[in-house]
Amino acid sequence: MIRLGTIVGTVIVSYLLAAAPVAAESGRSVYSLDQSWTSDAGKEVRLADEAQNPTVITLVYTRCKSACPITMGRLKTLHGLLQKEGLPARFVLVSMDAAKETNESLAAFRRQYKLGDDWVLLRGSDNEIRTLSVALGMSYREESKGGEFIHSNKIAVLDRTGEVRGVLDGLKSEVSELVPVVREAGKSAASE
């Protein structure tokens, strides 16, 4: 009986450990990059700040003309789907334009697309953006200095610990595919 109890106890402990991902233990957290960003309100923020819910994250730049309106439309569609399902999530847009993005241009973008408090708009240094893009498996390149960017169109979902739980690629994919990913990401965070 004692042995059985020990085994059951071990199983329960293992289950709890497995079900409670901790950023520091998994080593797969994007939050472990320890980066510092600036928000459109001019505040210094970290990706891990206020990350109690799953995060939908992508790279943008606000002066873009071609893909961004499509990407923003897709993100807003996803935002609506998640709200309908009652799945809380925050949306993080990181600018890939280290040289030209400003707090003001980010703030104007927020107004233009009527983004609420659950949208986080960030800018950072070239090195930070490059490192985050590598960690998220996203790619971008400035076509010429001060020109348009050529970039992948990926949307990633992070759980509360900052681990990537899914990536959607391309402008023609269905954003609804990310709804179950956000649901799962929220579950693992809630069971901690």
Partner 1 sequence: MWRPTARVFCSLLAVGLLCAAAPSGEGHAGSIRTIKGGQFVPLYGGPEDGSAISVDTFRLDEVPVTNEQYWKFIRDRREWDSSRRGTLLADVNYLAHWNLERGEGPAPSPDDLLKPVTQVSWFAAQAFCESRGGRLPTVVEWEYAAAADEKKPDASRDPAFVQRILEWYSKPGTVHRVGSLPANYWGVRDLHGNVWEWTYDFNSVFVSSDNRRLGEAMNNLFCGASATTATDRANYAAFMRYALRSSLEGHFTTANLGFRCAYDN
Angle at which helix 67-84 crosses helix 178-190, to 10 degrees, equals: 50
Query: Going residue by residue from 55 to 94, which x/- string records binding to partner 1, judged by CB under 8 A?
Result: -----------xx---------------------------
Beta carbons within 8 Å of 125's beta carbon, 6+ residues apart: 98
Q: At its nearest, how many Å lie between partner 1 and the CB of residue 133?
A: 6
133 binds partner 1 (CB under 8 A): yes
Beta carbons within 8 Å of 139's beta carbon, 6+ residues apart: 133, 151, 152
The span of 71-79, 85-93, 109-117, 168-176 binding partner 1 (CB under 8 A) equals 168-176
Where residue 144 falls (left for φ over 0; alpha for ψ -120 to 50; beta otherwise) is beta
CA 25, chain centre distance (Å): 20
175 binds partner 1 (CB under 8 A): no
- Residue 32 or 102: which CB sits closer to partner 1? 32
CA-to-CA dists, residue 83 to 86, 89, 125, 179, angstroms: 5, 9, 33, 10
- Residue 75 or 168: which CB sits closer to partner 1? 168
Chain residues that interact with partner 1, rule: CB under 8 A:
26-30, 32-33, 66-67, 127, 130-131, 133-135, 137-141, 143-144, 150-153, 164, 166-170, 177
